[in-house]
Amino acid sequence: MDALHLPSAPRDLSRRRGFAQWAPLFLALSFVLTALTFARDARADARVPVQLQAQLVARLATFDRNFQARAGSVVNVLVVHLAGNPESTFEGANLAKALGELRDIAGVPARVDEAAFSDGASLATRCRDQHISIVYFAVGLEGEMTAVAKALAGVDVLTVGTAARHAENGAVVGFGLEEARPKIVLNLKQARAQNVAFKAELLKLARIVE
């Protein structure tokens, strides 16, 4: 199989301008290649591995036009698990660890915290008070997403779930497996409600729910 060759860096201003027009396409291609690299490992589990999810979220944030303004100088990430649910607690801890090992998210240093879920209203208050940029929901909270979505309407935050059902029920982003390959699921209605504006390049790669 022939190697994939990307254009070399432009050497003058006119070429740099031309390259800038193609940059979103190269970024989208990089996103797809990252997902396919981990696809073999994803087949072994019913869900996309959390290590892959952490890396995808770091790339996914670059497709949100409002992310830099939301994050500021530090990306505050809150990983939420369901209290009393061992699987949820275990997945939440692994996800927090994977996110904490990233050097940055969309080029911004990240700070990761973890908490047990209480209710949507308390979560919304914490997001506002602590300037949370990303809330990540572990398994077991899929059924809470409808109430959470109502509470977070009007809050400037990106919500992500470890399963497709999270997005189908009200998170902005979820991850699923289609033909043993990772698939991004986007809830555009909730994205608009939470001031998340994804670029068209990402929408072409995702499954959209409203």
For 107-121, how does the pLDDT look when each residue is reduced to its tens digit (9 = 90+)? 999 999 999 999 999
* Stretch 18-31: mean pLDDT: 48
User: Quick check: helix, strand or coil at residue 132?
Assistant: coil
**69 burial level (CB within 10 Å; 0-12, 13-18, 19+):** exposed
| pLDDT (average), residues 66-80 | 97
**Continuous H helices in 43-83:** 50-60, 67-71
Dist CA 57 CA 54 (whole Å): 5
Q: Residue 45: which pLDDT band, with cuts at 50, 70 and 90?
A: very low
Tokens of 50: 């959390």
pTM exceeds 0.85: no
| pLDDT > 90? residue 9 | no
Does the pLDDT value for residue 23 go beyond 70?
A: no
Distance, C-alpha 89 to centroid of its chain: 19
Residue 207 has pLDDT above 70, yes or no: yes
In whole numbers, what is the pLDDT of the chain averaged over residues?
A: 84
pLDDT digits (tens, 9 = 90+) for 87-109: 999 999 999 999 999 989 999 99
pLDDT tens string 152-172: 999 999 999 999 999 999 999
**pLDDT in the model for residue 181:** 84
29 vs 208, which has greater pLDDT? 208
Q: Name 159's Cβ contacts closer than 8 Å, sequence gap at least 6.
A: 134, 135, 136, 137, 148, 149, 152, 166, 170, 171, 172, 173, 190, 194
Residue 111 burial by Cβ neighbours in a 10 Å radius (0-12, 13-18, 19+): middle
Q: How far is CA 140 from CA 27, 65, 70, 168, in A?
A: 32, 30, 27, 14
pLDDT at 127: 98
**Are the C-beta atoms of residues 174 and 185 closer than 8 Å to each other?**
yes
